Structure 1
C-alpha cells in the first residue's frame, strides 16, 4: 500500500483570480481540505487548500502558490495526494480505492479471474474493473458483499462469486 492516497484532481481554473475547480474523491467532498497539504503525484509540488465555495461538479478553491488564471489552467488534470496518516481509519468492511488496485481476483474455486485495474462509481455503487489475459477486454464486477465476499489486503487478493454469465 502506498503511503499516499489520491483524494482529488484539479479540473482547471475557476474565474480569473487563480482559483481552481477541484474534483474531490472523498466521501464528503469538503474533506479534501482537511488532510493537510496535498501533493502532486510525483511529490514535486505541495499545496495548502482553502475551499471557497461549491461549484457545478466540484469545489472552487485557492491553492497556495497559485495566483493567476494561467497558473491554475496549467494544473488542469493534476491529481492531488494526501498522506495516508492524515486519512481516517476505516471500518473492516470499507477500503480505500487505491488499496484495491492491482489485487488479484480469484473465483470461489481459486481460479484467477484477473486483476483489479480500476474502481469505478457511476452513481449506483462501486464497480471493480477486472483485466487479465483470459478476458476479452474489461469486466465490470459489482463491488457488493454478495459478489465479493472476501477482500484480503494482506494477501493482495479478492474472492469473487460472480453472477452466472458475467465472465462468458
Structure 2
C-alpha cells in the first residue's frame, strides 16, 4: 500500500490475486550476506517480516531467475533497511542480487483501512470527471518525491494531473470516478466536443488486471500525501 501511487506492474495470477511490487535490493552490506533495501511500501512491518517470501524480478541470465527469496531478518542501519535472506550466506551471493525487484502475493479484494487511501489497481481505469462530465481515463500513476502524478488519457492526448486534494478533491472507487478541479490551462486543449466521445475514451483503458507505473514507490496511495518511509 502506499500514500502516493505505486507499482510498476500488477501481475494478474487469478481473478482475485496478483503480485505487488514492494521493494528493491540495492547493494550488498557487509560480509555476511546482508543487502540494503529500497522499500516501495508504507507498511514495512507487515510486508517485511521474517518468513516473508518474495518473487524476484531479475534478468533471465541471473542465477536467481525463477526463484523466490525468503526474509530471515530485517535490521535498520542509520535509518536504512538491511535484509538478511535465507540462502544468501555471504557478500558474493548478496552482490548477485543487486537491483532485484521484490514482489509479494496480493489479494485484489483487500482494501486499505486508511482514510483517503487506495491501492493503485483500484484507481487505474477510473473515469476522470470535471464539472460532472467525463473528460478522460486514469491510466497510470507516477510516484515522485514531491507528489504523485495521475496520467489521464483524453481524446486529445495525455494530461499529467498532480494528485493533491486541491486538484483531485474526490475519488469514488465504487462509482468508478475521479473528480478533478484543474487549474486554468491543465485541460485547456481539450475541446468540449471531444469530452463525450466515449468510444475514444474506452480505447484508453488498460487490459484487465494490468496497471503500470514508471516509478519506484509504495503499494497504496493517499491523495496529496507521501510517507517519509518511501
Shorter-chain TM-score above 0.5:
yes
In 1, Cα distance between equivalents of 2:125 and 2:101: 19
Per the alignment, in what secondary structure is the counterpart of residue 70 of structure 1?
Answer: helix
Per the alignment, in what secondary structure is the counterpart of residue 21 of structure 2?
Answer: strand
After TM superposition, the structure 1 = structure 2 runs for residues 11-160 of structure 1, keeping only pairs within 5 Å, are: 11-34=26-49, 36-41=52-57, 44-55=66-77, 58-85=80-107, 89-91=112-114, 93-101=116-124, 103-122=126-145, 124=146, 126-130=147-151, 132=153, 134-135=156-157, 139-144=160-165, 146-153=166-173, 157-160=177-180
Higher relative contact order (CA 8 A, sep 6+): 2
Contact 1:49 1:63 in 2 (8 A): yes
Q: Pick the structure with greater CA Rg.
A: 2
Contact 1:24 1:30 in 2 (8 A): no
In the TM superposition, what whole-angstrom CA distance separates every residue of 1:23-61 from its partner, at most 9, and x where no partner exists? Answer: 112224444323832222599322221344223573111
- What are the ranges of 5 or more consecutive residues in structure 2 without an aligned counterpart? 1-9, 59-64, 189-230
- Alpha carbons of structure 1 residues 37 and 16: separation in structure 2 relative to 1, 3 Å: same
Root-mean-square deviation (CA, aligned residues, Å) is 3.4
TM-score by length of 1: 0.71
- What are the ranges of 5 or more consecutive residues in structure 1 without an aligned counterpart? none
In 1, Cα distance between equivalents of 2:74 and 2:92: 19
Q: CA deviation at 1:11?
A: 1.3
